[in-house]
Amino acid sequence: MDNNVKTKNDVCLHAEKVSKIYPGTKALDDVSFDVLTGKVNVLIGENGAGKSTLMKIIAGIEQPSSGKIFMGDEEVTFKDPKDARKYGIGIIHQELSLFPNLNVFQNIFMAKEKTKGKFSLDNQAHMEAANRILEKLEHPIDVNTLIGDLRVGQQQMIEIARNLIQDDLKILIMDEPTSSLSQQEVDVLFKLMRELTAEGISIVYISHRLEEIMRIGDHVTIFRDGKFVADDDVKNIDIPWIVHQMVGEGKSYPKKERNIDWKKRDSVLQVKELTLPKSGGGYLLDKVSFDLKKGEILGIYGLMGAGRTEVFECIMGLRPEHTGTVILEDKVLNVKNISEQIERGFAIVPEDRQREGMVQTMDIGKNISLSSLKNYLKGIFLDNKKENENVDEQIKDIHIKVADKRLPILSLSGGNQQKVVIGKGMLTNPKILLMDEPSRGIDIGAKTEVFDIIHQYAERGLSIIVVSSELKEIVAIADRVVVLSNGKKTGEFMGDEIKEDSLVLASYHGHHAH
Amino acid sequence: MSQSQTEKKRSKNALIMTLLKGRTLIVLVILIIYFGLASPTFLTAGSLLLIAKHVALYGILGIGMTYVIITGGIDLSVGSIVGLSGIVAGGLINEGLTLNMFGVTIYFSIPTIVLIAMLCGALIGFINGWIITKFNVAPFIATLGMMYMARGFAMLRSKGATFSSITGKPGLGNTGIEFFGRNVGGIPVGAIILLIIALIAGIILKKTPFGWHILAIGGNQKAAKLSGVKVDKAKLLVYMFSGVCAAIVGIITASQLVAAHPASGETWEMNAIAATVLGGTSMSGGVGTIGGTIIGAFVIGVINDGLVMLGVSEFWQMVIKGVVIILAVIIDQFQRNLQAKIALQARES
């Protein structure tokens, strides 16, 4: 793995063959990783590549299924973040983990309180230390301000300050710290990072902004599908190399060839200038237009926060504040609420299966029939026979491996749970199926099956939109791909134009370090 | 683990599961046997009738409460609705409805009065549901506020006094409210009403889309919404149903006493919640049965009346009731954990 010289002295933390297995999926697969002392160690990879998982393990938030972590010659195990903090490891999360109901110094010293005597809080010391650290960060903020009243960028600074308060900080992990910062704040942050590394603190830096990485990074490590792919010093590499390594050439899912002249097909759905304002200014979606042909699989690709899921939310009526036109089969729709949209022939397979897709308290069969119960009525009562027939047929159609449909839904594997959610949508006989990250959190085998299902339904004439942040997935299944970046449509690709590199480039459009 | 060991463990788990599921019924049987042995008067027709009368009240309230708790909510206003609907009915019987502008007083027949009282309950339930769904107020708070308001209105209506001897007058055509407190064929009318409501509510819960929709809302509201369930409408109906149940209890109570007291039904919401929880309905929503709640109501009723017959002090009664409720929930939690374990076992194989 090594063509650049690393001696033991350069490495302040070494992860040896770490794996993390979640039910149904392997998030990290035998990964070894070095944190170089006093460097900005950049970690990069697609969503789901395992970056955040590894960082959580190093910070003690998650425990590895197998593998070891060394600091110096000592093997260390972290039961919880407090353990990791004892060894000087701090983490700044992708999602802020502050207490909006408490003020700045309370947040900074949470669980690290200083006391006069044993019990009495020494707020004077808290305030002084907080002021000192904020000055160092060039962000003088009144330390009595409530966190909830601060801008997101300022909150990010508090999150950083919280880690710096630690005297013996050795490693600082930053998971996409710049995603909500202004350019000025990014400059301050980078300056600070330089100061920290000059003091000998090692930084692990996760980011999607490639230009930023070239600017601030010292050493880059690339992950893909939970595996280590490559690493090198920043001075030896360029952006195309990174993209190439992220995307890889290895296995991809078999592409289903479809010889259809899409120009001759009618549009089922037209979306024109879909716009969704963001609370606090700006747009989550900015005049996004696209159409969907009958039997087509349209992919929507973009990074996190690009507006992918919001497109679905608008179409399903979950965002009544949106503007723009939605036309279903030449009829302009007034999109108001979701049950109406389902009656009109839309069905959605949500992004988060556990939180939005299934009802954990219900059995498998009821989870499948939930959306279409009205179709199985005899008088005012449910006709069990009719319901069971439809459910059984769907289970067969979609190959759900189930011993008994009266078992709880949680007894199924992730892949089969996902098929249940898809089956539920299909039982409403939709014209248009919206799938948000349909293969998230399921293993490779199940993924392929889900792709086959999508393909089959499209062949039968169902029009499908698939939102995905997984390149290989979208390349394998989509007939056409729309790329979103920062709420804008930045590319549309058809047939042979659908290449991983071009999708990635379009998705970073507007993500440059201004 | 070897094949046979796994099998053994599984069948042991299944046995524990069956016992856990039937636990409230087992407790009920044990209680009845215990009180039967301890108190010679307990298993007599007279005392059993008395218990049935009390159980009918908690049971009907509990049925409405079960629906509400299944959606993941709570209804603290039912006790006050009992008082208010009784006062509304009692007032209409004794004083009629005076229309000042026409200078007349109208007296309604008993069926009409019962209907008005039920509408009253439905309206309060509607307001509960409306506040909860429209303004996103936590059900606990919304119904807590309504608990005070409804009680206040009841007091205001009768100026804190009791409408006594609400028998009506034959000349006014409003006699007969006592019917709901009587026995028919040896069975209290209240118990018969409980049975009818329980049957209807049980069938709706298990045999209609609406029932499954409210189970889905409590299990995972977001998923239910994305599946096309009309969440707000369902919740509105559920709180209205709970209000109607409470109004019916108000009528029965007034009828049993042949008087309407504005403070009647105070803290009964707690008995309703206790019956529901004892019956295996999960406070976090999504799980619950009407049958369970009825058994739960019987447990509460038997404990109450049984302890009275044994001469246990009222203060100890409270302590014992509290212990029983907390134990029930602890066992419930245990059952849930075991259920999750069994589900995972099924997944591994």
Q: pLDDT-based confidence at A311, cuts 50/70/90?
A: very high
The per-residue pLDDT for A359 is 93
The per-residue pLDDT for A371 is 93
Task: Tell me the range of A178-192, B108-122, B297-311 where mean pLDDT is highest.
Answer: B108-122
Q: pLDDT-based confidence at B191, cuts 50/70/90?
A: very high
Write the pLDDT tens digit of every residue in A257-267: 777 888 888 89
Residue A471 scores a pLDDT above 90: no
Of B328 and A17, the one with more pLDDT: A17
For an interface test with B, which of A21, A316, A362 has the most B Cβ atoms less than 10 Å from its Cβ? A362
For an interface test with A, which of B221, B227, B287 has the most A Cβ atoms less than 10 Å from its Cβ? B227
Residue A256 scores a pLDDT above 80: no
Residue A24 scores a pLDDT above 70: no
Write the pLDDT tens digit of every residue in A25-40: 678 889 999 999 999 9
Inter-chain residue contact B203 with A348, CB threshold 8 Å: no
Place of tokens 């499948």: A368
As beta bridge partners, residue A219 has A41, A233
Inter-chain residue contact B226 with A357, CB threshold 8 Å: yes
* Phi–psi pair at B154, nearest 5 degrees: -60, -45
Write the pLDDT tens digit of every residue in A140-175: 889 999 988 887 778 878 888 888 887 788 999 998
Mean pLDDT of B209-218: 95
* Phi–psi pair at A272, nearest 5 degrees: -120, 125
CB B215 within 8 A of CB A361: yes
Write the pLDDT tens digit of every residue in B85-96: 999 999 999 998
The per-residue pLDDT for A472 is 80
C-alpha–C-alpha distance, residues A389 and B165, integer Å: 59
Start-end of H helices in A233-316: 239-247, 308-315
What angle (nearest 5°) sits at the alpha carbon of residue A452, between those of residues A451 and A453? 90
Neighboring chain B residues of A359 at a CB cutoff of 8 Å: 215-216, 219-220, 223-224, 286
Residue A512 scores a pLDDT above 60: no
Minimal Cα–Cα distance from A255 to chain B, Å?
A: 31
Q: pLDDT-based confidence at A499, cuts 50/70/90?
A: confident
The per-residue pLDDT for B234 is 97
Residue A47 scores a pLDDT above 90: no
Neighboring chain B residues of A412 at a CB cutoff of 8 Å: 347
User: From residue A276, how far is each of A286, A290, A324, B222 by CA, in Å?
Assistant: 7, 15, 9, 21
Residue A514 scores a pLDDT above 50: no
C-alpha–C-alpha distance, residues A494 and A484, integer Å: 15
C-alpha–C-alpha distance, residues A193 and A201, integer Å: 9
Residue A195 scores a pLDDT above 90: no
Of B50 and A507, the one with more pLDDT: B50
Residue A280 scores a pLDDT above 70: no
DSSP B260: B
B348 touches A: beta carbon within 8 Å: no
The per-residue pLDDT for A252 is 64
As beta bridge partners, residue A297 has A464
Inter-chain residue contact B223 with A358, CB threshold 8 Å: yes
* N-terminal to C-terminal alpha carbon distance within chain A: 34
Residue B327 scores a pLDDT above 50: yes
Mean pLDDT of B178-199: 93
Q: pLDDT-based confidence at B143, cuts 50/70/90?
A: very high
**If you average pLDDT over every residue of chain B, what do you get?**
91
Write the pLDDT tens digit of every residue in A420-456: 999 999 999 999 999 998 887 777 678 888 998 999 9
* Phi–psi pair at A224, nearest 5 degrees: -145, 130
| Greatest Cα-to-Cα distance within chain A, rounded to the nearest angstrom | 81
Residue B164 scores a pLDDT above 50: yes
The per-residue pLDDT for A3 is 41
Non-local (6+) Cβ contacts of A390 within 8 A are: A369, A372, A375, A376, A427
Output A77-82 pairs: Cβ under 8 A, ≥24 positions apart: A82/A111
Residue A10 scores a pLDDT above 60: yes
Minimal Cα–Cα distance from A418 to chain B, Å?
A: 13
The per-residue pLDDT for B346 is 65
Closest CA to B193 of B257, B111, B248: B248
Mean pLDDT of B232-245: 97
> For the ranges A349-353, B145-149, B216-220, which has the lowest average pLDDT?
A349-353
The per-residue pLDDT for A1 is 42
As beta bridge partners, residue A381 has A378
Residue A513 scores a pLDDT above 50: no
The per-residue pLDDT for B39 is 87
Token readout for A24 is: 């149904």
Minimal Cα–Cα distance from A173 to chain B, Å?
A: 33
ipTM of the prediction greater than 0.90, yes or no: no
For an interface test with B, which of A318, A348, A361 has the most B Cβ atoms less than 10 Å from its Cβ? A361
- A34: helix, strand or coil: strand
Q: Between residues 259 and 318 of chain B, which touch chain A (CB distance below 8 Å)?
A: 282, 285-287
- A172: helix, strand or coil: strand
Identity of the amino acid at B117? A
The per-residue pLDDT for B1 is 47
Minimal Cα–Cα distance from A386 to chain B, Å?
A: 13
The per-residue pLDDT for B3 is 61
Which residues on chain A place their C-beta less than 8 Å from a C-beta of chain B?
23, 316, 338-339, 342-343, 348, 350, 355-362, 366, 370-371, 373-374, 377, 380-382, 403, 407-408, 410-413, 424, 428
For an interface test with A, which of B226, B337, B338, B339 has the most A Cβ atoms less than 10 Å from its Cβ? B226
The per-residue pLDDT for A25 is 67
Residue B100 scores a pLDDT above 90: no
C-alpha–C-alpha distance, residues A298 and A294, integer Å: 10
Inter-chain residue contact A356 with B209, CB threshold 8 Å: no
Inter-chain residue contact A373 with B220, CB threshold 8 Å: no
As beta bridge partners, residue A103 has A146
The per-residue pLDDT for A192 is 84
> For the ranges A500-504, B116-120, B203-207, which has the lowest average pLDDT?
A500-504
Mean pLDDT of B51-62: 95
> For the ranges A1-10, A316-325, B250-259, B278-287, which has the lowest average pLDDT?
A1-10
Minimal Cα–Cα distance from A215 to chain B, Å?
A: 42
Write the pLDDT tens digit of every residue in A60-99: 988 998 999 999 888 999 988 888 888 999 888 766 678 8
Write the pLDDT tens digit of every residue in B108-142: 999 999 999 999 999 999 999 999 999 999 999 99
The per-residue pLDDT for A511 is 52
Token readout for A357 is: 């897709």
CB A192 within 8 A of CB A160: yes
Residue A502 scores a pLDDT above 50: yes
Task: State the pairing for strand pair A297-301/A463-468.
Answer: parallel
User: From residue A481, how far is each of A283, A430, A496 by CA, in Å?
Assistant: 22, 21, 11
CB B146 within 8 A of CB B283: no
